[in-house]
Structure 1
Amino acid sequence: MSKLVTVFGATGNQGASVIKHILTDAAVSKEFRIRGITRDVSKLAAQTLAKQGVEMKSADMNSRFSLADVIRGSHTVFLAASEYDIEVGVQYMIFSSLLHVTKTTSGRLTHVPHFNGKADIEEYIRESGLPATYYPPGYPMSNFIQMLRKEKDGFYTLAYPVEKDAKFPLIDIAEDTDEYSQCTGAIMKNHDRLLGARIYGAADYYTPERILAGLEEVTGEKTRPLQVSNEVYKSFLPDFMAEGMLENHLFIESPGYYNAASLNESHAI
């Protein structure tokens, strides 16, 4: 009988990408059947997955009984971690982690809770003894679209509070299966030798100039990078997220989104 892989966030970018790869990879789909977890199984995206053979279930992330029910019988769980995984017999987890910004910067940056929270969960999983591999996704390419502005001289500027040599580890989660879902498929195939490893989910490191060079090549538009002050950058954003987004980018500048880690070993799997 095939093993059960449970994918949380099944209709979101990451989860849907993983499911797509499992369904299209002959070797992985032969070994695993899929249970997709989403908030509302009545939505079109969930129904579409169900028609492709995915067992769709809804779950309340705040309910012990709901979580235990949807992960029961799973060999592998992707994305979500809870105290019930070991209790119900989960054998392996692929967790979409991130670095702890505050700890990595020795307290210099303290307003990036979505990174810190993911890192805290990774630490919990490691301490629990549950076999796992950690897969921190890179910086989404779609983020740049929001920051492009057309100036009066016709140039498009990309405004960020970072130096021109800052390195963004880019990934297109929604579109590029080579960079994301195929990597998670490779992790599933090789999980025995990747236990405890951190596999970085990015195509390559890109400076702002390299990003804009690619944009010019595709669109024919003229572009230039624009380094702005911290306060100017925050003025572009709603108050509730401005400080966090600023520190997120200061972290990318130094010490780096992946703390200057090489992508070579991750690409080699």
Structure 2
Amino acid sequence: MTVNGCSPAIHSYLSIRGTLHAMSKLITVFGATGQQGGSVIRSILQDDILSKEFKIRGITRDTSKPAAQALLKQGVELVSADMNSKESLVKAIQGSHSVFLVTTPAWGVAGSDAELVHGKNVADVAKESDVQHLIFSSLLDVTKETAGRLKHVPHFDQKAQVEQYIRSIGVPATFILPGYFMGNYTSFGMLRKGDDGVYTLAYPIGQDSQFPLIDIASDMGKFVAASLKLRSETLGAQILAAAEYYTATRILAEYEEVTGRKTQFMQIDPETYKSFIPGPMGEEMLENHLFIEKPGYYNGRSLKESQDLLKKAGFQATSWKSFLEENKSTL
């Protein structure tokens, strides 16, 4: 006997499968083709539990580009949205149980409040749409933490202001604060080879300053996945997303160990450092590093609680040495 052309067993299986799919919760991921959003999507798809629990909607500016089309082939729904338009965001967020939000800095545009506007717009729509879990990629308020000593790091400050806004309007939320990207050292040529064959790392701060490093493309998604798995524990919390604290001395020692290259650290004066980076971005990068030196990227907070949370959810952060070994061909 068949039912609609299927045997009873197959029909039953398809019915159960359809019911489970209908029960799946929707997570909307902003910046789907970027480093952070892409990491979140990969972590969900690769996780046995989360891949069954959630359907994924990816938000990107251009759904036709190859990276977006690759996501489509993996079963990710793609939606284009304008973060300046709440109407556009309503269409992007509607029906979502969870939302991952990352805002993009207006690098080098003095006085821009784009991140603040975009973050508040998404928060408002998340509130109106009854989103149950907003996971926001946040950072500390440098101006506030230094009592105005450093006031030119808008890509930190505006994220912190968005976080405060989200808290103030009462959206159920978790705040994940990514550390200093390991990829900065490989993508931006921060280790420069001299005529003598020695690779120099130049900073406007001392070599004992503490950098909380994260392999952002691999590990941001792990921290987000942990917050999804442990939602009740992480609501309202700040999760510090980094493998561990590294000094420049250790960064270079492990770089030498993996690559066999000779390295040296050079501390340069602030004005010289700024001269390497044109416009307002030079001031921003300088103060960003001065903040890392004092009071510290996370204001001196321990990473233990966040690491314990990651392990509890079944994940492990990528070490700097592992990152170097995995990316040896690009160094």
Normalising by structure 2, we get a TM-score of 0.79
- The aligned residue for residue 88 of structure 2 is 66
Q: CA deviation at 1:30?
A: 1.0
Q: Which amino acid aligns with 1:189?
A: K
* Aligned counterpart for 2:194 among listed residues 148, 151, 156: 151
- The aligned residue for residue 55 of structure 1 is 77
Matched, 1:140 2:181: yes
* Aligned counterpart for 2:100 among listed residues 63, 66, 78: 78
* Aligned counterpart for 1:41 among listed residues 63, 86, 89: 63
- The aligned residue for residue 9 of structure 1 is 31
- The answer to whether the 8 A contact 1:137-1:171 is kept is yes
SS at match of 1:83: helix
- The aligned residue for residue 88 of structure 1 is 129
Structure index of larger Rg? 2
Q: Which amino acid aligns with 1:221?
A: R
User: What do the CA deviations read for 1:139-195 (whole angstroms, capped 9, x no partner)?
Assistant: 011222422222233211100011121000101112x3xx32222111100011111
Distance 1:7 1:239 in 2: 32
Distance 1:196 1:119 in 2: 14
- The aligned residue for residue 110 of structure 1 is 151
SS at match of 1:82: helix
Matched, 1:231 2:231: no
User: What do the CA deviations read for 1:220-269 (whole angstroms, capped 9, x no partner)?
Assistant: 00001111100111111112310000000000000011111110000111
SS at match of 1:165: coil
Per mean C-alpha deviation after superposition, the further-off stretch among 149-158 and 25-34 is 149-158
- Which structure 2 residues correspond to residues 199-210 of structure 1 after superposition, within 5 A? 199-210=239-250
- The answer to whether the 8 A contact 1:144-1:158 is kept is no
- The answer to whether the 8 A contact 1:161-1:249 is kept is yes
Number of aligned residue pairs: give it: 266
Q: Which amino acid aligns with 1:259?
A: N
SS at match of 1:26: coil
- The aligned residue for residue 99 of structure 1 is 140
Distance 1:152 1:7 in 2: 45
Distance 1:139 1:10 in 2: 20
Identity of aligned residues (%): 61
Q: CA deviation at 1:105?
A: 0.3
Q: Which structure has greater helix proportion?
A: 2
Show structure 1 runs of 4+ deviating over 4 A.
Answer: none
Unaligned runs of 5+ in 2: 1-22, 103-121, 310-331
Normalising by structure 1, we get a TM-score of 0.96
